[in-house]
Amino acid sequence: MKVIVRDNYDEVSKEASRLVEEKIRENDELVLGLATGATPLGLYENLIDSYKTRGISYENVKTINLDEYLGLDKNHPASYHAFMFETFFKHIDIELNNTYIPDGVPASAEEECLRYEAVIDHVGPVDLQILGIGTNGHIGFNEPGTDPNSLTHVVELNASTIENNAHFFQSIDEVPTHAITIGIQSILKSDQVILLASGKSKAKAVKTLLESERNVNPDFPASYLWTHDDVTIIVDKDAYQLV
């Protein structure tokens, strides 16, 4: 696991953007694994800028997102479909048909999980997966206790996750209680992983992650990243302060 420490959130976002840009220059048919949440917003802003000013094109790029809330239609403003469209996809030249996100209102959640895992295998494998980290160590919506062999599945969100994500909704009562997320095993199928963390609120999670090499365990799902051989963590000083 490689660790890159930068001064602040802006520098973390720039570094991540530089790495993604480099990968697209190497392979214009890159399959990018994308994340939602507050952390990757700066990365997306930088990538939009590199598209507009340096002509980095997404015409042949495919994206596969980590998760979606169950019960939210893609037109719901807090859905991850809407998040991705508003913060990234509508600003670049990507084909929306080449962007994959689990369906939040499937006829059968079980079948949607199987369908989405097949997307990961057939559209993918993901060349570069972007991850955030939850304060409880979750990656995607793989909450503590998740099986390391898990594929795409339905999860019940932890109280801390619901609380952390409430700011995207009018009130905490509107945050869905369940989601579809790709599993730990699905994440580990990626060729390369970049995990971003910023701010004091992530310092404990970053410390636990970096100390978990000899204690890979389901109570801290991000620890499974130690079993992958190409993971880069990009953090700012605030998130690195306890290490």
Nearer to ligand PGA among residue 38 and residue 78 (C-beta): 38
Judged by CB under 6 A, does residue 137 bind ligand PGA? no
Judged by CB under 6 A, does residue 38 bind ligand PGA? yes
Nearer to ligand PGA among residue 56 and residue 64 (C-beta): 64
Judge whether 136 counts as a catalytic residue. yes
Q: Between 156 and 195, how does the x/- string for binding to ligand PGA read (CB under 6 A)?
A: ----------------------------------------
- Report which of 243, 212, 198 is spatially closest to residue 8, judged by C-alpha positions: 198
Judged by CB under 6 A, does residue 37 bind ligand PGA? yes
* Interior angle at CA 239, CA 178 and CA 196, nearest 5: 55
Distance CA 68, CA 119 (A): 15
Distance CA 84, CA 99 (A): 9
Total interface residues for ligand PGA by CB under 6 A: 6
Distance CA 14, CA 6 (A): 10
Q: Which two tokens stand for residue 34?
A: 């994308």
The position carrying tokens 């057939």 is 122
Q: Which two tokens stand for residue 120?
A: 């990961």
Judge whether 143 counts as a catalytic residue. yes
Q: Which two tokens stand for residue 214?
A: 């000899």
Judge whether 142 counts as a catalytic residue. no
Judged by CB under 6 A, does residue 208 bind ligand PGA? no
Applying CB under 6 A, which of residues 102, 104, 132, 176 lies at the interface with ligand PGA?
132
Judge whether 138 counts as a catalytic residue. yes
Judged by CB under 6 A, does residue 39 bind ligand PGA? yes
Distance CA 152, CA 131 (A): 16
Looking at 143, 153, 165, 236, which residue is catalytic?
143
Would you name the residues annotated as active-site residues?
67, 136, 138, 143
Using CB under 6 A, list all residues that contact ligand PGA: 37-39, 132-134
